Structure 1
Amino acid sequence: MVAGPDGPQYADAVLTNRSASPVTVTPVLVYPDVRAAVAWLAEAFGFGERVRIGESHRAQLRVGDDGAVVITEGGNGRRVPQPGGTSHQVKIRVPDVDAAVARAQAAGALVIEPLTTFEYGERSWLLEDPARHRWELTQTVRDVDPADWGGVAVAPW
């Protein structure tokens, strides 16, 4: 079981492994060139490489206090995103979304959706990296009860 009805119930049951990310959910993104992707993500978003698995096979990256992402090569049914659609996006919470977007744009990220301030208290931009992965950079600007905008708080974090 990943989580119980009242939230995570597994923290004490999951073993620590220095070869694996300590976070619960880790996106695995496919890039045509793992080393180039690691360099770009470091430049654009400030990711840090944590574990390298071969020169071109896979890398574990960390970001912030608790974020992780795995970058992998194609093959074995894995492909980089193709033009004409997207199946996912990765959201990163940052303290200054405008500065984070400027950094990413300087590294070559494309703006897909411009800055939007949402009623639920977030300011977000949607970007695309050179391999067509979508990244939403978001900054919390105020604390909002989900009921204030039509959401329903089902369980606490």
Structure 2
Amino acid sequence: MANRSAPASAVVPVLTYPDVRAAVTWLAAAFGLVERVRIGADHRAQLRCGDGDVIVADTGSDRRPPRPGEVVQSVMVRVDDVDAHCLRARQNGARVLMEPTDFPYGERQYTAEDPAGHRWTFTETIADVDPQDWGGELVEA
């Protein structure tokens, strides 16, 4: 059943930021995310990210953003043009940790860190590659 109050994606990362409004503004400018639902003045926001969703949450209770030098999770997002996306992110202050790189598994990716320390990898498919060609194994349920 569809619910206009909840993201439609099956998996929705919830990332904690010290300032939800500033995070939403920055994520829209740097990464192209689009705010879908605002919850309170600075409590939470639901953002669309291509055909996926992300929730930006405030600090409080046991929620904290990552500490410098600490990676507790990362978010991978599919985009149409990794190079153009990386340029946009950099122009909006993203700290690019890995420049756009082609990988043997058929993806071109870059990794950036947002102002709160969350790591984002953006990926573009450049080839259809059999997982066995690079050491993977296709397992179908």
In the superposition, the TM-score normalised over structure 1's length comes to 0.87
Q: Deviations over 1:82-134 (max 9, x none)?
A: 01211111111111100000000111000112222110001111100111110
Q: Give the one of 24, 28, 48 matched to 1:62.
A: 48
Identity %: 57
Alpha-carbon RMSD across the aligned residues, in angstroms, is 1.0
Matches within 5 A, 1:2-151: 15-64=1-50, 66-151=51-136
Rg larger in structure:
1
Q: How far apart, in 2, do the equivalents of 1:98 and 1:39 lie?
A: 22
**Structure 1 runs, 4 residues or longer, greater than 4 Å off:** none
Residue 152 of structure 1 is matched in structure 2 by 137
Q: Deviations over 1:4-55 (max 9, x none)?
A: xxxxxxxxxxx22110001100000000100000000110111111110001
Aligned length: 141
Unaligned runs of 5+ in 1: 1-14
Q: Which amino acid aligns with 1:126?
A: T
In the superposition, the TM-score normalised over structure 2's length comes to 0.96
Q: How far apart, in 1, do the equivalents of 2:33 and 2:44 lie?
A: 15
Between Structure 1 and Structure 2, the one with more strand by share is 2
